[in-house]
Every structure is written in C-alpha cells, then in structure tokens.
Amino acid sequence: MALAATLRETLAAIFPGAMSVDPGECLVYGYDNSRRQALPDAVVFPTAHEQVVALVQACRAARTPLIARGRGTNTTGATVPVAGGVVASFERMNRILRIDAANRYAVVEPGVLNGDLQAALKPFGFFWPPDPTSSAYCSVGGNLACNSAGPRTVKYGAPRENTLGLQAVAGTGEAFRAGYYTSKGATGYDLTRLLIGAEGTLALITQATLKLTPLPAARRVLRATYADIATAAAAVSRIMAQPVTPCALEFLDNAALRLARRHGGDAVPEAGAMLLIEVDGDVDYLPSAVEAVAAAARGEGLVEWRAANDATEVDQLWAARKALSPALRAIAPMKINEDVVVPVSRLPELITGLRAISEKYAIPIVNFGHAGNGNIHVNLLYRPEDPAQAAAAPGCLAAVFDLVLALDGTLSGEHGIGLVKREFLPRALDPVTLELMRRIKAQFDPDGILNPGKLLPD
C-alpha cells in the first residue's frame, strides 16, 4: 500500500532530504541476510532522538507499520517489512557520544558499527564483549535488538550482560530511559534487558550505555582435532566443567571442515571434528590456564593439540572458521541456518541426533558454532530447486527443533526469532508465557505498529 499523503508530508517535514519513497531505493532496505524480501513504502534516515519521537508519533497516528533497521545482517528476517510501511534506517545515527573510562561505560547511538566501537575503545584499554562474526559491518543497535553475541559470550556474556541502560521510544510515541550509568542498580523492573532481544517490537532504541571490559593482557589460541564428532563434543563438556573459562570455544564438525578446507586450503586440517579455543588473561596466569584447558581437551579421540606462537599462527588456526561461511554460501545459497542452544553437557546428544535427522530426511547438515555456550549453528544445505529436498525441508527443520527442546535447549542463541522461527515459538514457550508477552507488547505498542509479523506468533 502507498503511504497516506498526510503521513508522507509529515515525514518529509521531519526528515528533510533524508527520506525516500522511490521503489528502487526502498527495495534496498526491504531485505536482510535471511534472503527474505518485501518492499517498504518509505525509508527514513534519523539522525536525532527527537526525530525518532516524531516519527513514531506520526506512524501511530496513521496506523502505519514502522520497522527499525541496522545494517541488515540478521538471518531471521527480523527487519523485512512484511506489512509494508516505513523503514527507519539508523545508519546515519552513528556517533560515539562518550567514552567514560573511569566508570567503564560508553554512550553510543544505535547506528555505530560494532567494529568501529571496538577500534575506538582500544586506545582506552577496553572492549565491548559482544563480537558477532559480522562485527565489521553490523550495528550496535542490531546487536541489541537480537541480543547478538559471538564467540566471546562464553566468558564475557551477551549484550544483555553488557548494557547498563537505554534511551528509547515506545510504540506509543513516548520517550523514556531505562537502566543506569552504574554497574549496580535495583530500582524497579529491568526494562533494559526486556528491550534487548525484543527485535524492535516494543520500542526504537536511540541511545545505549554500554558496559566496558578491560582488554586482557595476553591471549593464546589453541586448536584440538578429534577422530570423530562425538569425542569432540565430549571434550567440550570436559573443558567447560573445569575452573578455567575460555574466552572462545568454537566447534566444527567433519562436514564443516571438509567445506572449509575446500575454500581455505591446507591451512584447514583434515579431521573428524575440531575445537578452536582462546584463553586470555594476565601473562603470568596464561600458562597454567592453557594447561588446564589442555588437560580437559585430552582424552579419547584426540588427534592433535596445537597452540599458536605468533600472530601468523593465530590467523592460520582461525582460517577454518573464517573460511566456513563463504564456503557454505557458495554451495547452498538458500541454506537454512539455525542457531540452536542446548546445555553444554548435552552437546554429544545433540550432535548425534542431528546426524540421524540428516540421514532420515536426506538433507546434508553442517554444524559449527559457539560450543562453550552449547550454541550450535545448524546448517541445512537444502536446494529448493530439488523437489524432494524442498518437500523434506519443513519436516527436517521441525525435527531439529523438537530434538533441541527435548534436550532442554532453546530455539535461538543470538539470531533471534524474527520472521522465520515465530511459528515454532509455541513449541518452546507455554501459553501463559506467550500471553504475558502479548500483554507486554500491547503496553509498549498498543496499535501494533512496531515491526508487525515478527517474533510473536499470530
């Protein structure tokens, strides 16, 4: 549907020279990394909090959908404007407003790129722990919207654990601030953590106060290869059961390694499975920490244990992980990528179960991800042009989710629910919980204009 003339005029006044209704330009803001696509009626580019307040008020008055967008790296269709309406791209609202080293926080706008923030913090001796694979080009606002994290979550936590406060605009058009500038606070409901992971369905974030962590003095990168997937998964459980917490613990199964080797060459080892491990901390502490992790990694099935001695070797050890995503996209552009989570001790059962599902539905499944959290990226390499695989894919995906839930897991660790997982949410949450979520949504967004068709099922 086209924008109402009154709303179009209002938006043009709020965003002079920073609005488009041209279908060609709007189409660029109608898709994300899920490969889903829809055409918004308009795109606006906020640069100030006050503009966002006026924008929400205008869209509410016109009962027009409003979708907040970062850089479109999401894989679940969370920013696809399925109901049309207005997309608010925050790419121009990208200032780092303050870095307060004494109090260990930074205040940023939502369009700041994760990688740019990390570069700005480094001279102060700090970093913000969330580090998705797309950190060079994903925005902090997008990280907050989906609680996106990355490898370092195993030690340092996700955005929910690393955000002190937020400034936002609810779907009512009311501006508010949630949270604190302090590391402790117990004053009422925790709206900050509620907004993080809400995928823009409750409010539009216009400013974030982020909790900073000191950069470690040193780190070691380690690689362990195993004869098979089961022994590698068992090693993950042993590593996470001992006192030293690695800052990254990545898992790649044999299919992932074969694909990565095809893309990355001999730098990627041949093995049944591989763990990529990072340990960080004080220089004097590191040797004993590495030995503790190594002792846990040793066991049945271990083929090789290797530690990087310099930056070149670090790059070589990470080569398999970095080569994997391009390799997967090259052979299966329409692959289904789910980021399920199970308790770490149940990883062996998950990996065994996924192999059985792959055989039953005749769809290749490649598994890799953040094993230290039990967060595995399950990639169904199905080809939609193959009638048999197209018919089998829905059942295969449902079986994956059923397995995860049976193992006390959850549907997503960092990608969110978005458009593609919302129909499965009733499998993971009981009816009372879903109804409470709907009531919360109604309080923040009574007219349902914020990112309709996402997260909550109909």
- In order, the DSSP letters of 328-371 are HHHH-TT-EEEEEE--GGGHHHHHHHHHHHHHHHT--EEEEEEG
Pairing of strands 86-89, 42-44: parallel
Cβ contact 82:40 at 8 Å: no
DSSP 175-189: EEEEE-SSS---SS-
Angle, vertex CA 333, rays to CA 328 and CA 338, nearest 5: 65
| pLDDT of residue 348 exceeding 80 | yes
Question: What is the rounded CA–CA span in Å between residue 337 and residue 344?
Answer: 20
Each domain of the chain, given as residue ranges in start order, spans 5-91, 97-214, 219-406
How does residue 82 score in pLDDT terms, banded at 50, 70 and 90?
A: very high
Q: What is the pLDDT of residue 7?
A: 97
pLDDT in tens, 356-379: 999 999 999 999 989 999 999 999
State the chain's mean pLDDT as an integer: 93
| pLDDT of residue 101 exceeding 80 | yes
Q: What is the pTM of this model?
A: 0.93
Strand order in the sheet with 96-100: 96-100, 105-108, 203-211, 163-170, 175-179
Q: Residue 227: beta bridge partners?
A: none
Q: What is the pLDDT of residue 403?
A: 97
Q: What is the pLDDT of residue 355?
A: 93
| pLDDT of residue 266 exceeding 90 | no
Q: Please give the share of the chain, as a percent, with pLDDT higher than 70.
A: 99
Q: What are phi and psi of 264, to 5 degrees?
A: -105, -5
Mean pLDDT of 3-9: 94
Q: How many residues does the chain have?
A: 458
Mean pLDDT of 381-409: 93
Question: What is the rounded CA–CA span in Å between residue 257 and residue 261?
Answer: 6
Residue 170's SS3 state is strand
Least reliable range by pLDDT among 33-37, 39-43, 107-111: 33-37
Same fold, 97-214 and 219-406: no
Burial of 210 (0-12, 13-18, 19+ CB in 10 A): buried
How does residue 330 score in pLDDT terms, banded at 50, 70 and 90?
A: confident
Pairing of strands 66-69, 302-307: unpaired
Architecture of domain 97-214: 2-Layer Sandwich (3.30)
Question: What is the rounded CA–CA span in Å between residue 167 and residue 151?
Answer: 27
| pLDDT of residue 278 exceeding 90 | yes
How does residue 2 score in pLDDT terms, banded at 50, 70 and 90?
A: confident
Q: What is the pLDDT of residue 449?
A: 98
CATH number of 5-91: 3.30.43.10
Cβ contact 80:30 at 8 Å: yes
381 CB-near residues (< 8 Å, 6+ apart):
328, 331, 332, 335, 363, 364, 365, 366
| pLDDT of residue 295 exceeding 70 | yes
Cβ contact 34:420 at 8 Å: yes
CATH number of 219-406: 3.40.462.10
| pLDDT of residue 441 exceeding 90 | yes
Handedness of CA 71, 76, 79, 82 (dihedral sign): positive
Cβ contact 279:290 at 8 Å: yes
Q: What is the pLDDT of residue 334?
A: 76
Report CA 82 to chain centroid distance, whole Å.
21
User: Exposed e or buried b for every residue in 405-433, given b needs 16+ CB within 10 A?
Assistant: bebebbbbbbbbbbbbbbebbeebbeeee
Question: What is the rounded CA–CA span in Å between residue 59 and residue 46?
Answer: 14
Question: What is the rounded CA–CA span in Å between residue 315 and residue 152?
Answer: 17
How does residue 156 score in pLDDT terms, banded at 50, 70 and 90?
A: very high
Q: What is the pLDDT of residue 260?
A: 80
Give the dihedral of Cα atoms 71, 72, 78, 80; nearest 10 deg.
Answer: 120
Q: What is the pLDDT of residue 1?
A: 60
Q: What is the pLDDT of residue 150?
A: 86
pLDDT in tens, 193-251: 999 999 999 999 999 999 999 999 999 999 999 999 999 999 999 999 999 999 999 99
